[in-house]
Amino acid sequence: MNIDTITITQNDKYKTVVYPHYTDAEECTGSVVVLHGMAEHHDRYNEFADFLNAHGYDVFLYDHRGHGKDKKYEELGHFADNNGYRPVINDAKAVLDYVGRRNRGYRLILFGHSMGSLIARNVAAEYPDIDALILCGTAQQPGILTGVGSLLASIVKSFKGADYRSPFLSNLTTGYKEFARISNRTKFDWLSRDNNVVGLYINDPCCGFLCTAAFYHDLIHLTGTASSTAIIRKMSRNLPILVISGTDDPVGGYGKGIVKFFSLLQKYGFDRSDCIIYDECRHELLNELNKDEIMQDIVNWLGKIGDPDDTKKTGRTAQPDMSGDRRRETSAGEGKHAETSVGEVKHDEITSGEDDHKEISAGEIKSET
């Protein structure tokens, strides 16, 4: 029996509502936790969840703080007044703890898109129990750029207030000429070549909203830490990582930032990593014209990395190519997650500390495994 929603009360009493999508397959292959991007919400990943369900994966969606259709307008685009990046990272770890304890399959997979990919990279440096990491539409920025951006965001925050909605900082992050050069119809054309997708995004009041000064400060911090070699070196070298982006994605520097990030993974010994850069694709790969191909590539990669207990390495290595062969393939896949059953309640509220169907806090989830 499926759970309609799962509510995890975080250590600071914030409630994270998780929306599980369970596969009907006879055997569940693994669980995928999805981290969405900036100024959007989990509902935009329902099609991706359905696709993964059809291929034997349970999927868990949730909205970050300051995001989602259940938020008031004034709550949108704001993590916290100070250091909001920290609870957002902790939220993801708590969701992974919950899902890992109840994983019906044998793999725990973390998928992050855009801002979600930056959160995921920070999480992977602190959370060793994921079996695969998929980064979609990620970024790789030089330290000097994120340093200057952080300083500017701090100044705006200091003078205007943490909750000030800043057009200047918005333009600093997604409004400059690299984004405008492919925005021929609307300012959000850089998201996808599919005009219907862009139109739905523009007309969704829970998408594309202006964020606060504190949020942009947190976003720049997440970008800077994710881009740092210190974070990369903290991740397990045995972790299978798939990096996917488009040649026309300004967030990834039109492919250049992605090649740089993937080169760093190779430099630091992440031999079980892959990179696919799709020709002419823009930022939201799961909403692109060739989304079916992309989602199938993700499933194929998950199948290729093997069972968590499979120690055989069969694969081939090459450098990512911006033209011709788009793929860099290596072997991957080991992990630790035993099969467990799904809870049999309609609404599972996790708050403060006992068995699966009573209450446990976010801080106590992992210790009970």
Q: Which pLDDT belongs to residue 288?
A: 98
Task: Enter the DSSP assignment of 322.
Answer: S
Percent of the chain scoring above 90 in pLDDT = 75
Query: What does the pLDDT look like over 283-340, one tens digit per residue?
Result: 999 999 999 999 999 999 999 987 655 433 323 223 333 333 344 333 333 333 222 2
- 8-state DSSP, 19: E
- d(C-alpha 197, C-alpha 360), whole Å: 39
Show Cβ contacts of residue 13 under 8 Å, excluding neighbours closer than 6 positions.
none
In DSSP notation, 247-310 reads TT-GGGTTTHHHHHHHHHHHHTT-TTEEEEEETT--S-GGGSTTHHHHHHHHHHHHHHT--TT-
Whether residue 200 is predicted with pLDDT greater than 50 in this model: the reply is yes
For residue 326, the model assigns a pLDDT of 40
DSSP 8-state secondary structure symbol assigned to residue 172:
H
SS3 state of residue 359: coil
pLDDT tens-digit readout, 109-158: 999 999 999 999 999 999 999 999 999 999 999 888 899 999 999 999 99
Place of tokens 């119809």: 185
Q: Do 82 and 40 meet the contact criterion of CB atoms below 8 Å apart? A: no
Give the SS3 label for residue 29.
coil
DSSP per-residue codes, 75-110: GTT-S-SS-THHHHHHHHHHHHHHHHHT-SSS-EEE
> What 3-state class would DSSP assign to 17?
strand
> Residue 368 gets which letter from DSSP?
G
pLDDT of residue 290: 98
**In CATH, what is the architecture of 31-338?**
3-Layer(aba) Sandwich (3.40)
Q: Please choose, from the candidates 44, 23, 33, the residue with its C-alpha nearest in 3D space to the C-alpha of residue 284.
A: 44
Segments making up each domain of the chain, as ranges: 31-338
**Residue 227 near residue 139, CB atoms below 8 Å:** yes
Q: Report how far residue 228's alpha carbon sits from residue 85's, in angstroms, rounded to the nearest whole number.
A: 16
**7 SS3 class:** strand
Structure confidence by residue, pLDDT tens digits, 240-276 = 999 999 999 999 999 999 999 999 999 999 999 999 9
